[in-house]
Amino acid sequence: MREAKLSALNALDRLLRQRFNAFRLVEQMAEQWLLDLPFEEIDRGWIIPTNIEMFGEKLNILVVVPVNCIFPYKKPWIYVKPEIPQSEFPHIEADSKMCVWSDQVLFDSRDICYVESLVIDAHKLLESTLTGELNEDFNNGFLSYWNSHVKTPSLVSSLCSETGGCRLIYVAYLNGTTIFADSKDELSSWIEKVDSNSKNISISNSFLLVLDKPWIPSQYPEKLNEIVSLLSTQLGDLLKAKELIGSMIAGDSNNPKFLIKVNTNNGPCFVSMQLAANCLQRGNGNYPSRKIVNLGNGFRDRKVTANVLCSRAMNQTLKGLNVDRIDQSWILGRGHNKLLPQICRNRVAIIGVGSLGSELVPLIIKAGVSNLCLIDIDRLEPANLGRHWLTYAYLGENKAKGCQLAVSSYFPWVNVESISCANWIYEDSVLEHLKSCDLIINTTGEWGVDVALMELSVKEVIECPILFGFTEPHAVATHAYLCGIGKHDYLSLYDNCGQFKGTVAEFPTQTKLDLPLCGGSFQPYGAIELSFGQSVIADLAINCLLGNLDFEKDHYMVWVGSESLLFHNNGQWNSSWSQYSQIGTGSRLIYA
In the prediction, which pLDDT does 100 show? 95
Last-in-domain residue among 294, 326, 358: 326
Single pTM value for the model: 0.86
Examine the pLDDT at 435 and tell me if it is beyond 60: yes
* 280 confidence band (pLDDT: 50, 70, 90): low
Asked whether 430 and 211 are in contact (CB, 8 A), the reply is: no
Domain identity same for 224 and 347: no
Give, for 455, the enclosing helix (H) or strand (E).
helix 447-458
**Percent of the chain with pLDDT strictly greater than 90:** 60
In the prediction, which pLDDT does 66 show? 80
pLDDT in tens, 531-555: 999 999 999 999 999 999 988 889 9
Between residues 64 and 290, which one has the greater pLDDT?
64
Answer yes or no: is 24 within a domain. Answer: yes
Asked whether 403 and 381 are in contact (CB, 8 A), the reply is: no
Give the mean model confidence (pLDDT) for residues 322-349.
95
Q: What is the largest CA-CA distance in the chain?
A: 93
Answer yes or no: is 359 within a domain. Answer: yes
Between residues 519 and 139, which one has the greater pLDDT?
139
Answer yes or no: is 422 within a domain. Answer: yes
Asked whether 356 and 445 are in contact (CB, 8 A), the reply is: yes
Q: Which residues pair with 168 in a beta bridge?
A: 207
Domain identity same for 384 and 307: no
Which range scores top for mean pLDDT: 23-27, 233-237, 278-282, 329-333?
329-333
Domain identity same for 106 and 206: no
DSSP-based three-state secondary structure for 376: strand
C-alpha span between 189 and 506 (Å, rounded):
50
Between residues 180 and 571, which one has the greater pLDDT?
180
Domain identity same for 275 and 128: no
Domain identity same for 246 and 355: no
Give the mean model confidence (pLDDT) for residues 491-495.
91
Q: Which residues pair with 275 in a beta bridge?
A: 318
Between residues 28 and 241, which one has the greater pLDDT?
241
Answer yes or no: is 188 within a domain. Answer: yes
| Alpha-carbon separation of residue 305 from 231, 251, 285, 298 (angstroms) | 19, 12, 19, 12
Domain identity same for 172 and 298: yes
* 296 confidence band (pLDDT: 50, 70, 90): low
The dihedrals phi and psi of 371, each to the nearest 5 degrees, come to: -135, 110
Beta strands in 70-154 (DSSP E): 77-81
Give, for 345, the enclosing helix (H) or strand (E).
none
Structurally, the chain folds into a number of domains equal to 3
Domain identity same for 192 and 228: yes
pLDDT in tens, 75-92: 999 999 998 888 889 999
Domain identity same for 298 and 348: no
Domain enclosing residue 474, as ranges: 340-591
Domain identity same for 113 and 153: no
Answer yes or no: is 309 within a domain. Answer: yes
pLDDT in tens, 249-277: 888 788 899 999 999 999 999 999 998 76
In the prediction, which pLDDT does 148 show? 82
